[in-house]
Amino acid sequence: MVQRDTVSLTDQQQLVRDSIRDICADFDDAYWREHEAAGEYPQEFVDQLSENGWFGALIPEEYDGAGMSTEEVVVMMEEIAANGGGFSAAQAIHGGIYNSVPLVKYGHEEMKADLLPKVARGETSIQAFGLTEPNAGSDSTSIETTAERDGDEFVVNGQKIWISRVDASDYIVLMARTTPKSEVEKRTQGMTMFLVNLEDAYDQGALQIEQIEKTASNLVHSYEMWFEDLRLEEDAVIGEEGEGFYQMLDGLNEERLVIAAECVGLGEAALEAGVDYASEREVFGNPIGQNQAIQHPLAEAYARVQAAKQMVYTAASAVENDANPKAIGARANMSKFLAADAAFDAADAAVQTHGGFGVAREYDVERYFREARLTRLVPITQQLVLNYVGENVLGLPRSY
Ligand SMILES: Cc1cc2nc3c(=O)[nH]c(=O)nc-3n(C[C@H](O)[C@H](O)[C@H](O)COP(=O)(O)OP(=O)(O)OC[C@H]3O[C@@H](n4cnc5c(N)ncnc54)[C@H](O)[C@@H]3O)c2cc1C
């Protein structure tokens, strides 16, 4: 067993860890392997979490949620990834936990009172978040989807791409321009966040979706979406018209820390598989783990995963202690960068340790490797994280 209990946890964090480990114990490696190979959403796992109220983790108690915070959710997501589910198991539920946050912070009372208790009880889901477009990935303020006012309503037209979990969701939090980029002072202005009922959008004949074929994280499906004259009532606006981008940024650091925890968990799962195999497999009459060429990459990757983990956990506890948001931003971005690279090194070492079996589905490490590669791209690429650190931490000039 690779030592994973390396950070000291609060009582609440220990409870989260033990409860999630209990749930994960019912889902073995074969469950994740088979679902991923078949491209099937892990509905049974999601149902278990839902029945136990985990989708309400970040919802305040007054709306029937658990009223937890980043400190607890990093534990939850690391455990899900580390117990064999990998990054994609965490991603299968990530949106369902995080997309309620803008509602909690900015939603009007009727929206909150109606939806948050249902999300917390697992009766409805807000798993999808629609920002990215074919012409607006890293440059997200360039989105071209528009929501134009027409009396008391908004009319939405545009295209989104790479939107995950649309098939597993009742609602999508959608970002659209309510004021053209050419008419705002700053490009971060004029974007609005909407809550869209997907069934209503299909019923209006105003939404078409198509699944994107991809090679990693196949438990979770991602979609292209086309909106044509989708009519939304005024009360579908989350927060303030034109302020959507700023609302999205609020809470982004915490979410990024949780993504980093998912990468840590993935790295731990890969190391566990690599170390087990290195101990059991004998070549030339000895376990291969006796060779330093096998030992060192695993040991190095362990050190890197642990370093990232320390950073994630100290930053999560700093969030609780109301540290300066700029300092949290720096740590959250650096955590994501280090954890994604550490997960990649761990998965790569685990594949190499397995020799030819490194690419056999049966041993799972090829799946971890594909996922680890993905963590360097989403939800933000490693380069964009470095841009953030270069500009906001080191004070260097913006390059774009
Ligand atoms: C599996 C998956 C799931 C996703 N789920 C969602 C989702 O649910 N909702 C959603 O809204 N989006 C989602 N995304 C989109 C994701 O957030 C984007 O793919 C990501 O932000 C990168 O945008 P892009 O793919 O357009 O790359 P681009 O912006 O086209 O960038 C291409 C490359 O150029 C580099 N680059 C660009 N500009 C610079 C610069 N100034 N400096 C240095 N390098 C630069 C980038 O780092 C990258 O390597 C998902 C993507 C994937 C792959």
Residue 241 confidence (pLDDT): 98
The reply to whether ligand 1 has any atom less than 6 angstroms from the CB of 218 is no
Which one-letter DSSP state was computed for residue 354?
A: T
Residue 324 confidence (pLDDT): 86
* E strands in the chain: 128-130, 146-150, 153-164, 171-177, 191-197, 207-211, 222-233, 237-238, 282-283, 286-287
Between CA 233 and CA 243 the distance in angstroms is 18
Contact assessment for residue 96 and residue 334, using Cβ atoms and an 8 Å cutoff: no
The string over 122-131, giving b where at least 16 C-beta atoms fall within 10 Å of a residue's C-beta and e elsewhere, is bebbbbbbbb
Q: Quickly list DSSP for 115-139.
A: HHHHHHTTSS---EEE--BTTBSSS
The reply to whether ligand 1 has any atom less than 6 angstroms from the CB of 163 is yes
Residue 295 confidence (pLDDT): 98
The reply to whether ligand 1 has any atom less than 6 angstroms from the CB of 264 is no
Residue 184 confidence (pLDDT): 97
| pLDDT band for position 326 (cuts 50, 70, 90) | confident
| pLDDT band for position 283 (cuts 50, 70, 90) | very high
Residue 322 confidence (pLDDT): 74
Q: Are strands 286-287 and 282-283 parallel, antiparallel or unpaired?
A: antiparallel
Q: pLDDT tens digits for 105-149?
A: 999 999 999 999 999 999 999 999 999 999 999 999 999 999 999
The whole-number average pLDDT for the span 78-98 is 97
Position 209 pLDDT exceeds 90? yes
**Atom number in ligand 1 closest to CA 138:** 29
Between CA 250 and CA 105 the distance in angstroms is 9
Cα distances (angstroms) measured from residue 125 to each of 24, 222, 312, 314: 21, 16, 27, 31
The reply to whether ligand 1 has any atom less than 6 angstroms from the CB of 340 is no
Cα distances (angstroms) measured from residue 146 to each of 54, 143, 174, 198, 316: 34, 8, 11, 17, 36
Residue 89 confidence (pLDDT): 97
Residue 400 confidence (pLDDT): 85
Residue-range domain boundaries for the chain? 11-108+113-120, 128-243, 248-393
Nearest to 309 by CA among 353, 273, 350, 340: 340
CATH of domain 128-243: 2.40.110.10
Pick the CATH number of 11-108+113-120 from 1.10.540.10, 3.40.50.970, 3.40.50.720, 3.40.190.10: 1.10.540.10
Position 343 pLDDT exceeds 80? yes
Residue among 132, 165, 215, 333 to mutate when testing ligand 1 (max atoms within 8 A of CB): 132
Q: 248-393, superfamily in CATH?
A: Butyryl-CoA Dehydrogenase, subunit A, domain 3 (1.20.140.10)
Strand partners, 223: 163, 211
Q: What percent of the chain has pLDDT over 90?
A: 97
The three-class DSSP label of residue 170 is: coil
Residue 240 confidence (pLDDT): 98
Per the structure block, which two tokens stand in for 326? 């700029």
The whole-number average pLDDT for the span 41-61 is 97
Position 321 pLDDT exceeds 90? no
Between CA 2 and CA 260 the distance in angstroms is 19
Identify the burial level of 225 via C-beta atoms within 10 angstroms of its C-beta, where 0-12 means exposed, 13-18 middle and 19 or more buried: buried
**Atom number in ligand 1 closest to CA 165:** 8
Q: Which residue has the tokens 């008391």?
A: 152
Give residue 380 CA to ligand 1 midpoint distance, Å: 6
Which residues neighbour 291 within 8 Å (Cβ) at sequence distance 6 or greater? none
Helix (H) or strand (E) holding 258: helix 252-280
Residue among 248, 381, 388, 400 to mutate when testing ligand 1 (max atoms within 8 A of CB): 381
Higher-confidence residue: 321 or 329? 329
The reply to whether ligand 1 has any atom less than 6 angstroms from the CB of 164 is yes
Residue 383 confidence (pLDDT): 98
Between CA 295 and CA 352 the distance in angstroms is 11
The reply to whether ligand 1 has any atom less than 6 angstroms from the CB of 137 is yes
